Amino acid sequence: MVDTATNRVALVTGGSGGIGRVVSERLARDGMAVAVHYAGNEAGADEVVGGIASAGGRAMTVGGDVADERAMAEAFDAVEQGFGGVDVVVHTAGRMVLGPLTDFDLDDLDGMIRTNIRGTFVVDQLAARRVREGGAIVNFSSSVVKLAMPTYAPYAATKGAVDAVGLILARELRGRDITVNAVAPGPTATPLFLDGKDEETIGHLSKMAPLERLGTPDDVAEAVAFLAGPARWVNGQVVYANGGIV
């Protein structure tokens, strides 16, 4: 079995920015070699890799549209060639467009379906074929699936599908010693989340959790690191990293 703390290789989709960047950096600090995936932000991925390397870690970049099975197969190939295999896949890449269901643009819905559902299916399918014994697959869901907040219906629908894909895959991988879980963040202070929100809205969201603050990317990365490393008896679960919002 591959060691659960060191000598492991992780592929982090969407690792060029936001939560994916912090997850990449955290797994590198935990001793993993990290492949930082990007779709359009190659410069951001290079910056993450440079930071990991400067801190003494091992990292490389890989690119590709997560919904394109050929592009992502090439990304997995590159990781295997560069680091010898894949032990952990963290699928943070996703797309979020908000709006009321009654007049939501169906082109935006199709785009989210492609990235969030097909992308998860493609990445998980490749991970199921490639991740080594003792490995872990961590998808990204969202707390809005159960919070039922207005304007989030299209996005939450795609994340509900992410839950279904991962929970069923965990059972289909019986006998492989590979865990499959999802992290479901709540309101998290990333530039993307904060963009366009006024102070009143941010203040309201920060009070939703009993801890009375927004989450941080480090909070979410902590949950990912647990599932990607020591949490060998946590399997087929959605972990709500949201400070206690119910």
pLDDT at 227 over 60: yes
**Taking all residues of the chain, what is their mean pLDDT, rounded to a whole number?**
94
Secondary structure E strands in the chain: 9-13, 33-38, 59-63, 88-91, 136-140, 179-185, 238-241
Q: What is the mean pLDDT of residues 110-132?
A: 98
152 in active site: no
> What pLDDT does residue 198 have?
83
Of 78-92, 157-171, 191-205, the range with the lowest mean pLDDT is 191-205
pLDDT at 17 over 90: no
> What pLDDT does residue 154 have?
97
Provide the residue count of the chain: 246
Catalytic residue, chosen from 38, 152, 155, 240, is 155
What are the structural domains, with CATH classification, of the chain? Answer: 9-238 (3.40.50.720)
Contacts of 60 (CB under 8 A, 6+ apart): 33, 34, 35, 36, 49, 78, 79, 82, 83
Exposure string of 95-110, with b = 16+ CB inside 10 Å and e = fewer, is bbeebeeeeeeeebbe
**Sheet containing strand 179-185, strands side by side:** 59-63, 33-38, 9-13, 88-91, 136-140, 179-185, 238-241
- φ and ψ at 3, to 5 degrees? -55, 140
| Token representation of residue 100 | 């009321």
> What pLDDT does residue 120 have?
98
How many C-beta neighbours within 10 Å does residue 170 have? 18
The residue with tokens 């009993």 is 210
Percent of the chain with pLDDT over 70: 98
Task: Please tell me which residue, 2 or 155, carries the higher pLDDT value.
Answer: 155
pLDDT at 5 over 60: no
Q: How many whole angstroms separate alpha carbon 62 and alpha carbon 79?
A: 8
pLDDT at 76 over 70: yes
Q: How many whole angstroms separate alpha carbon 64 and alpha carbon 39?
A: 5
Of 1-10, 37-46, 75-84, 117-126, the range with the lowest mean pLDDT is 1-10
pLDDT tens profile 170-214: 999 999 999 999 999 998 988 777 777 888 888 888 899 999 899
